Amino acid sequence: MRPIRAASLGTATALVALLACAPVVSAAVDTDPAPKKDRDRVIVLTGRLAEQSRFPVNPGGAPAQGDRTVFRSVLFDQDGKEVGETGGTCTTTRVANGGAEECVVTYVLPGGQLTVQGMVFGHLVPGPPPSFDNAITGGTGKFDRARGSVHADTIATGTRRFTIDLQH
């Protein structure tokens, strides 16, 4: 097993709650009982990190380009009911100026999946993980051909709020 560097601790939490594990926080979900596939909508969920593994390029050393984190988070609706999960990877692309990483995440939700990709900046800066916006690159089922973005905010240690702005 490889040692975990303290500087990498923000990586997975930067994605979820992908992001690691605190009490469930309330989240709001689109309440339209029959959302139409041809219109925009916003879904707000809370995520808690459930698992993460780090794969540093320099075990026990300084953060380096190519460090990877693999994670899984559990997603909850406004009533605290588990409604899905996320899974993904982040790869460090820059260690200077607070660091940057490129992340690819899949959101598994009732009725389908959403794929999300983008950069997260500042993951090596001490303190709470930074907020970020990533692009929705596609989906399956009721999210087929989805586009839009996901905004993530840290709301507690290891807990993130995800605002999913779907554009069909």
| Tokens 């139409």 -> residue | 36
Please state, in angstroms and rounded to a whole number, the distance separating the CA atoms of residues 49 and 149: 20
Give yes or no for residue 128 having a pLDDT over 80: yes
Based on C-alpha coordinates, what's the Rg of the chain? 16
Give yes or no for residue 34 having a pLDDT over 70: no
Residues 6+ apart with CB under 8 A from 129: 10, 13, 14, 19, 123, 154, 160
Both ends of the chain: CA-CA distance in Å?
43
Give yes or no for residue 21 having a pLDDT over 90: no
How confident is the model over 87-103, as a mean pLDDT? Answer: 98
Please state, in angstroms and rounded to a whole number, the distance separating the CA atoms of residues 91 and 63: 11
With CA atoms as reference, report the closest residue to 127 among 151, 102, 99: 99
Give yes or no for residue 24 having a pLDDT over 80: no
Give yes or no for residue 20 having a pLDDT over 50: no
Instruction: Give the pLDDT of residue 19.
Output: 36
Q: What is the pLDDT of residues 150-159, one digit of tens each?
A: 999 999 988 9
How confident is the model over 66-80, as a mean pLDDT? Answer: 96
Give yes or no for residue 16 having a pLDDT over 70: no
pLDDT band at residue 131 using 50, 70 and 90 as cut-offs: very high
User: Percentage of the chain surpassing pLDDT 90?
Assistant: 71
- What percent helix, strand, coil does the chain show, rounded to 5? 5, 50, 45
- Token code pair at residue 143: 């999210």
